[in-house]
Amino acid sequence: MVDIRLTNTKTRTKHSLVPIDPQNVRLYLCGPTVYDRAHLGNARPVVVIDVLVQLLRHVYGADHVTYVRNFTDVDDKINARAAETGRPIRDITDETIGWYHADMDALGAARPDHEPRATDYIPQMITMIENLIDSGHAYAVEGHVLFEVRSFADYGKLSGRSVDDMIAGARVEVAPFKRDPMDFVLWKPSSGDQPGWDSPWGYGRPGWHIECSAMSEELLGTSFDIHAGGIDLQFPHHENEIAQSCCAHPQGEFARVWLHNEMLQVEGKKMSKSLGNFFTVRDLLDKRVPGEVIRFVLLSTHYRKPMDWTAEKAQTAEDTLWEWRVLTKDVEPAAEPDPRVIEALADDLNTAGAISVLYTLKDDPAKLLASARFLGLLRPELGDWVARDLAVIDSMAISVKDGIATLTQKMTDLREKAMESKDFSTVDSLKAALTEAGVEVRMSKTGVELIAGPRLDAAKLGALL
């Protein structure tokens, strides 16, 4: 049995994973609030956890892992979007979920076993809130229900903060009806035009944190193995989830292991709209950055380190993947991935280390293929980008393949003449033009070989015919 070691944010230490039930290893990943396209930062945990799930299924069996990722479809950002556009909330959230699926599919991330929508679990949230009030951990006031942080001694433990320190830090919203400035909302009133549900505290809607507590309980139980998300969620979101779940179910452990990925940067800076370096996964795909390339770059930095997205990295990744795809074309994958890949992943999900193993497998394409696929790379469904430039030269109804064949003959003829005349100028100029068009030119004693490269420019190629 492979020993999987993961760094638990709760203990700040790397431990061996010991599932509560090896027959059903349970994992929850905080999913998106569905009001807009997923940006690149949203994709990082999805891809990282996709690899973890693959590893868990490999170790414990495909049917012995339950992976849950929620959709937050009730949120003030969604309400704001609805108010801006005049569209029904359900239209917006349905559409956004569709985008999300398409974009994450393009990155080769498998769908979770369950993708609960918050609005489908309102009764469970209300039950949990009632439970918290009854047990003295929450109080209702002015149509709100608030969680009383002073009632939970471990509040702040996950993020290493104390309630007193945070209040000293000051920047907390202080509503007059809060018993303590750090108390957070479980339920809040809705006005007529806001989404809402009837509850014991009046018409209203849930606070953000309660949904994950209610849905993880419903789908995974009061104790489960792994809870994952971006490090920015550590506080307050995950801290509040712990408070809710542990107070509602003192007998449960809630999540045993907390996995947090570090943030993503772009060209060394925080991705932000004001810096003009904000972009979504779809933006990249539309710019013809293959999903497989995005995945490769996301996996090439360890998840617990800040990851810097740069155009240069994407280019290098594309070149590498191109080379590997050429190398493994028509190759049957080996039965098992290289054990070093498994070992690297088992060691706190060292995806960068696992990729480095792939580089050593050039002499064994079958093993390379099997190993890369374990990371979700070189899979057939992500390979369209390799073929896309080999389709058709628009201006003339001729395939790139035929064009290459014609040019190969032309080059061969020119070269033979040049060999006699010793004047290579025409050969060299055609070679330069081909290179410029993204074609690799190989000439040897046996002849000329032209190979379409990853950055083939079909228009330029067409011009040479």
Residues in region 393-432 near RNA by CB under 7 A: 415, 418-419, 424, 427-428, 431
Closest distance of CB 232 from RNA, Å: 4
Report the residue from 93, 119, 159, 213 that binds RNA according to the rule CB under 7 A: 159
Task: Provide the pairing of β-strand 223-230 with 25-29.
Answer: parallel
- What is the rounded CA–CA span in Å between residue 31 and residue 252? 23
Residue 237 binds RNA, judged by CB under 7 A: yes
Residue placing its CB nearer to RNA in the complex, 60 or 184: 184
Report the residue from 91, 154, 165, 416 that binds RNA according to the rule CB under 7 A: 165
Backbone torsions φ then ψ of 217, nearest 5 degrees: -65, -45
Report the residue from 18, 22, 77, 179 that binds RNA according to the rule CB under 7 A: 77
Annotated binding site for Zn(2+): 30, 212, 237, 241
Amino acid present at 314:
A
Residue placing its CB nearer to RNA in the complex, 60 or 378: 378
Residue 163 binds RNA, judged by CB under 7 A: no
Residue 312 binds RNA, judged by CB under 7 A: yes
Residue 160 binds RNA, judged by CB under 7 A: yes
Q: Could you tell me which stretch among 105-113, 138-146, 345-353, 402-410 binds RNA (CB under 7 A)?
A: 345-353
Residue placing its CB nearer to RNA in the complex, 55 or 60: 55
Closest distance of CB 6 from RNA, Å: 12
Per CB under 7 A, contacts with RNA among 315-344 are 316, 319-320, 323, 344
Q: Could you tell me which stretch among 59-67, 112-120, 233-241, 247-255 binds RNA (CB under 7 A)?
A: 233-241
Report the residue from 68, 149, 293, 441 that binds RNA according to the rule CB under 7 A: 441
Annotated binding site for ATP: 273
Closest distance of CB 448 from RNA, Å: 8
Residue placing its CB nearer to RNA in the complex, 308 or 402: 308
Per CB under 7 A, contacts with RNA among 172-211 are 172-173, 208
155 contacts 209 by C-beta, under 8 angstroms: no
Report the residue from 115, 218, 308, 389 that binds RNA according to the rule CB under 7 A: 308
Residue 11 binds RNA, judged by CB under 7 A: no
3-class SS string, the chain: CCCCEEEECCCCEEEECCCCCCCCEEEEECCCECCCCCEHHHHHHHHHHHHHHHHHHHHHCCCCEEEEECEECCCHHHHHHHHHHCCCHHHHHHHHHHHHHHHHHHCCCCCCCECCEHHHHHHHHHHHHHHHHHCCCEEEECCEEEECHHHCCCCCCCCCCCHHHHHHHCCCCCCCCCCCCCCEEEEEECCCCCCCECCCCCCEEECCCHHHHHHHHHHHCCEEEEEEEEHHHHHHHHHHHHHHHHHHCCCCCEEEEEEEECCEEECCEECCCCCCCCCEHHHHHHCCCCHHHHHHHHHCCCCCCCEEECHHHHHHHHHHHHHHHHHCCCCCCCCCCCHHHHHHHHECCCHHHHHHHHHCCCCCHHHHHHHHHHCCCCCHHHCHHHHHCCCEECCCCEEHHHHHHHHHHHHHHHHHHHHHHCCCHHHHHHHHHHHHCCEEEEEECCEEEEEECCCCCHHHHHHCC
Report the residue from 105, 115, 130, 262 that binds RNA according to the rule CB under 7 A: 262
Which residues are CB-contacts of 180 (< 8 A; sequence separation ≥ 6)?
148, 149, 150, 163, 167
Residue 291 binds RNA, judged by CB under 7 A: no
Residue 359 binds RNA, judged by CB under 7 A: yes
Report the residue from 74, 264, 361, 372 that binds RNA according to the rule CB under 7 A: 264
Site map 99..138 versus RNA, x via CB under 7 A? ----------------------------------------
Residue 233 binds RNA, judged by CB under 7 A: yes
Burial label for 341, CB within 10 Å (0-12, 13-18, 19+), is: buried
Residue placing its CB nearer to RNA in the complex, 60 or 307: 307
Residue 347 binds RNA, judged by CB under 7 A: yes
Residue 379 binds RNA, judged by CB under 7 A: no
Annotated binding site: 30, 212, 237, 241, 273
Residue 229 binds RNA, judged by CB under 7 A: yes
State the Rg of the chain over Cα: 27
Residue 169 binds RNA, judged by CB under 7 A: yes
Closest distance of CB 48 from RNA, Å: 10
Residue 302 binds RNA, judged by CB under 7 A: yes
Report the residue from 360, 395, 409, 421 that binds RNA according to the rule CB under 7 A: 360
